[in-house]
Structure 1
């Protein structure tokens, strides 16, 4: 059974997959407006609600940061890489692959950004990767219920499979050869983020078609993986949004052509 905790993750679980929910437990005592809204949602979705003390919720969630709500539900069914590849219409695809991100808070933050930036799917390795746990769900503020995630046995093989479907593999590495904002993201891409501290595995790095870097002005050589991911995902989203803007809404001054794929 999967256990989620925190008002945002629990609320999104009730919204997205109420049939998977066994029940939720909320903190007993006076309710604030957010808890009241969650209880109303549960009544509408016919989800059972129980009440518990702060200590009981802490024991259920195995966290002091349970946010006053814990949900008990069936294990989610993750997608396959084929599900990601063959979904969607004519729009250019935008995937995210996580190469050994083991901190659930970084995982959750990346998934929250992926949801906000319009990423079409996320590849998660079976080994040496944080699971989609309650901690990751809470850090994602409920985005784990909306992001399309695929579990893959071998990340490198999966990236090679994406290449066969004309999807460019873009790694982020502090020793990359091009600044991230000089790259043209208006094509089918999979952005690959590496491990906390160590970055991309060597084999993953060799599989990438391009290695991009984030220029750093200070003494620290790189950003936290979730922050770096947010920077690049939103640059990709910005470029794609500008590309899709109708001609009559274009900015008065056109930007310089950017080098990238096809240059």
Structure 2
């Protein structure tokens, strides 16, 4: 089940063949709804125009915005090897260690898309899958940013290091800050769950640990906010150095 304009539009643009049924609130006659209906028609889909009550039964308690699609649970998954084969240089990746909340995952995908990260990578254990809540929170980014789940995150980090990525983790106790680190090459940022931080094996495989300056009373940031800080600083430095976006 895919719901909400951002998520449904993104799936229509990227993989319309994966959508089996499309339901749209018949009472909506705004530009946004008309654009979605045209895109669906161009893809050969015949949307069902239904009342609000039908949509509520399909997505009870969800903010569907008057549009719900039923289709394949997820797009074909990309492997780490496939990602590395197709990457240009320099590139940015976001690795999540122990992030299990679907809203945090969705927000991380959204910020990764905005900052030009090539993919988000997480372990199959101790991580959130692409639930409908994560897809909704991502506002379309779940369709544009590959979410790669690997069997062993530590081994995946070894492979990324061999491919030339500088592995950076965040930790409150690090001896230097994010803003003292050179981020113009290929970078893989590794972030842990709020409170727990990075696991030992993950931490040991980082080339360096950096802190995010915290000047107020709270000791840490939500993982998606931290992802935004580090990814956009990477983008800023890369553009300043003339290396281009990820």
Normalising by structure 2, report the TM-score.
0.93
Aligned-residue CA RMSD (Å):
1.7
- Match of residue 2 from structure 2: 4
Q: Do 1:102 and 1:196's aligned partners in 2 also have CA atoms closer than 8 Å?
A: no
Q: 5 Å matches for 1:1-263?
A: 3-74=1-72, 75-89=74-88, 91-244=89-242
Instruction: Determine if contact 2:194/2:220 at 8 Å carries over to the other structure.
Output: no
Give the secondary structure class of the aligned counterpart of 2:58: helix
Distance (whole Å) between structure 2 residues aligned to residue 102 and residue 113 of structure 1:
17
Indicate the SS of the match to 2:122.
strand
Q: Paired residues, what number?
A: 243
Structure 2 unaligned blocks of 5 or more: none
For normalisation by structure 1, the TM-score amounts to 0.87
Provide, for residues 114-149 of structure 1, a one-character-per-residue CA deviation record: whole Å limited to 9, x for no partner. Answer: 111111122122122121122112211101111122
8 Å CA contact 1:4–1:133 kept in 2: the answer is no
Q: 1:57 to 1:174 in 2, by over 3 A?
A: farther
Structure 1 alignment gaps of length 5 or more: 247-263
User: Following the alignment from structure 1 to structure 2, what is the Cα–Cα distance between the partners of residues 144 and 51?
Assistant: 26
Structure 1 CA distance, aligned partners of 2:28 and 2:112? Answer: 35
Distance 1:228 1:122 in 2: 14
Other structure's SS at 1:86 match: helix
Cα 1:61–1:129 change in 2 (3 A) is farther
